[in-house]
Structure 1
Amino acid sequence: MAGRLLSIGECMVELMQADGGLMRKSFAGDTFNTAYYARLFLPADWSVDYFTAVGTDMISEEMLAFIKQHGIGTDKIARIDDRSPGLYMIHLNDGERSFSYWRSASAAKLLARDPDRLRHAVEASDIIVFSGITLAILPPEDVDTLLSELRRAKAAGKLVAFDPNIRPRLWDSAERMRETISDGARAATLVMPSFDDEATHFGDTSISETIARYRALGVADLVVKDGADGATLAFGETNTHVPSAKVEMIVDTTSAGDSFNGGFLAGYVVTGDAPSSARFAAELAAAVIQHHGALVAKDKLPPAIG
């Protein structure tokens, strides 16, 4: 059955290391990466749209062309004068990454400024994806606008998927970060946290504690990612552990969680089965981290699920 996935957030200019001390330019960002991998593996009768804002400059034009080239709709992307996309640079050390960011004039910070445009996009979609980074870059009043629309979508029975993706330096205080992340979870039907983030910033001592905390916020389903230790799924009354997939050599972990999210959502659309979707997502993430950059070509990835 045909459907539409809407991913909400910030796509940025990505600079990564290349040979000879050069840098290679691409475009990426957590919810965009999720949209990219979902598009690769969703059925052809599903549409994938990205909801953000960009400028009217040359790099914004290049970004829009890049998004379209990868089969992701751009009709819901706003254009804002005197703004431009943010930029980040990947630094690698034995496959683990750190980042430098330049995003003070990012147009994406204004993505929720037009409530009517946001409502129309959400109402037209079956699955909506957002993240803690989406919430972190927005002014507080726009966070309220976005979460209001997502709560409406949840009440209407849509699948609202949230990755807390906790990045402390994007927030002005740890208290507001934890409060807003919790509000984001309340607006979601599926939360896909990383356990190390939850342990660090919420003090969880076990995955069971993470699951219980989000369940208390009204979250129906959870996929708790735990790196090399796999993932724990809490759907209904059943908790299921899915092991990680074998990795020969870690090259770049930049999009490990994002690719898992996209693969899981695509698999869940196809099969309706959470454990098999998580197994596929684990294989996908394992393949992705064996290559450079956030977005890896489909011919280097496992075959589609189902």
Structure 2
Amino acid sequence: MAGRDGVMSLVCIGNLTIDEAVHGQDRSAPAIGGDAAYAALAARLYLDDVRMLAPVGSDLPPSVLQSLREAGIVVDDLPSRDIPTVRNIIDYFPDGSRRWTMLATEDEFDRLSVYPTDVTDAVLQADGILISAMSLQSQLALTPWLRANTDATLYLDLQEDYLVGNREALFGIIADCDVFLPSEIEAVTLAETDDLAAAAHLFHDLGPRTVVIKRAQRGSIVLHDGTLTEVSSERAVAVDSTGAGDAFCGGFAAVHLVSGDAVDAARCGSAAARTAISAYGIDGLVSAAGALR
């Protein structure tokens, strides 16, 4: 099916956060982040009808949603929560690693995640739905519910923090999606092997038609209908690598939804990720998406 005016439509489900990046002594000003925003803005680079579904905290500045609207993202009817927006401090280290410190409790993070009661009919009528990393409880509730209530193509991204001890439960929601988009760390942890080809085939056998393992600047591995392809990516200097994986997923989902070409979608996902890391927070993606209007 197709969305309004015959245009394919994608809904990006996830969180909105306020993030600060720390590089040594250099600390960025608080910037709006969250996987839903990164994914939706990246998708907007390739698709006209992009919508976002993310709970809004009590202290989220109205200007945030306005900036997303101006970039072409539909942010109507977002659920509101009576608690502050989740804030994160992301410390980057010289070896390329990073440490996330969430300034909220797990319960607050869960309350600011999306559950079936937040989903409107408009979401269910979309052609594609990207389910980004949220609380484990919300993803376990939401993914099978969406599978049972919509014909949309379901794209699934996870969060590495909750993988250990939840393998079988996560295998269940991987089976419910059409496209699974783990990071390399997530793939290795879940598949219990560092052989990424074997990991991709393991996930594919659970049910998804397409598996894409994200490898940051080393590109991605795409398994589609039994064919495995290594997709390279151009290297880029990162100003702020926060949101790169989310941007990849949004760009991938938008292109894949329209063309069905998983390899081309992976290349476009990498390009969107490079745009995301070119500035602090969502600024790079906001500028790129806004320029399309």
Q: Please state which band the TM-score falls in when normalised by the shorter chain.
A: 0.7 to 0.9
Tell me how far 1:97 sits from its aligned partner: 3.1
- Greater mean alpha carbon deviation, residues 159-168 or residues 92-101: 92-101
Correspondence for 1:128: 129
User: What's the TM-score, normalizing by structure 2?
Assistant: 0.82
Which amino acid in 2 is paired with 1:51?
Answer: L
* Structure 2 residue 239 is the aligned partner of structure 1 residue 268: no
Structure 2 runs not aligned, ≥5 long: 1-5
- Greater mean alpha carbon deviation, residues 261-270 or residues 84-93: 261-270
Correspondence for 1:74: 75
Correspondence for 1:88: 88
Q: How does 1:152-191 map to 2 (within 5 A)?
A: 152-153=148-149, 156-168=150-162, 174-176=164-166, 178-191=167-180
Pair 71,219 (structure 1): closer, same or farther in 2 beyond 3 Å: same
Correspondence for 1:97: 98
How many equivalent pairs are there? 284
Secondary structure in structure 1 of the residue aligned to 2:204: helix
Correspondence for 2:216: 227
Tell me how far 1:111 sits from its aligned partner: 4.5
Task: Name the CA distance, whole Å, in 1 between partners of 2:19 and 2:222.
Answer: 32
* Structure 2 residue 66 is the aligned partner of structure 1 residue 52: no
Correspondence for 1:199: 188
Kept in 2, the 8 Å contact 1:161–1:190? The answer is yes
Deviations 1:141-171 (A, max 9, x none): x555413322125xx5421001123224xx7
Kept in 2, the 8 Å contact 1:232–1:240? The answer is yes
Correspondence for 1:13: 18
User: What's the TM-score, normalizing by structure 1?
Assistant: 0.79
Which amino acid in 2 is paired with 1:88?
Answer: N
Task: Name the CA distance, whole Å, in 2 between partners of 1:186 and 1:135.
Answer: 18
Pair 23,231 (structure 1): closer, same or farther in 2 beyond 3 Å: closer
Which amino acid in 2 is paired with 1:207?
Answer: L
Query: Please, what is the CA RMSD of the aligned residues?
Result: 3.0
Which amino acid in 2 is paired with 1:284?
Answer: A
Structure 1 runs not aligned, ≥5 long: none
Task: Name the CA distance, whole Å, in 2 between partners of 1:281 and 1:110.
Answer: 26
Secondary structure in structure 1 of the residue aligned to 2:171: helix
Which amino acid in 2 is paired with 1:253?
Answer: S
Deviations 1:91-136 (A, max 9, x none): 2223543222112274762544563x425243221111113x3242
Correspondence for 2:34: 29
Task: Name the CA distance, whole Å, in 2 between partners of 1:216 and 1:71.
Answer: 37
Task: Name the CA distance, whole Å, in 2 between partners of 1:21 and 1:251.
Answer: 11
Task: Name the CA distance, whole Å, in 1 between partners of 2:143 and 2:41.
Answer: 23
Task: Name the CA distance, whole Å, in 2 between partners of 1:236 and 1:197.
Answer: 21
Deviations 1:180-227 (A, max 9, x none): 322221221000111232213541231122112212221111111223
Task: Name the CA distance, whole Å, in 1 between partners of 2:31 and 2:87.
Answer: 10
Residue number among 207, 218, 240 corresponding to 1:218 in the alignment: 207
Kept in 2, the 8 Å contact 1:33–1:295? The answer is no
Task: Name the CA distance, whole Å, in 2 between partners of 1:287 and 1:124.
Answer: 29
Pair 246,134 (structure 1): closer, same or farther in 2 beyond 3 Å: same
Which amino acid in 1 is paired with 2:265?
Answer: S
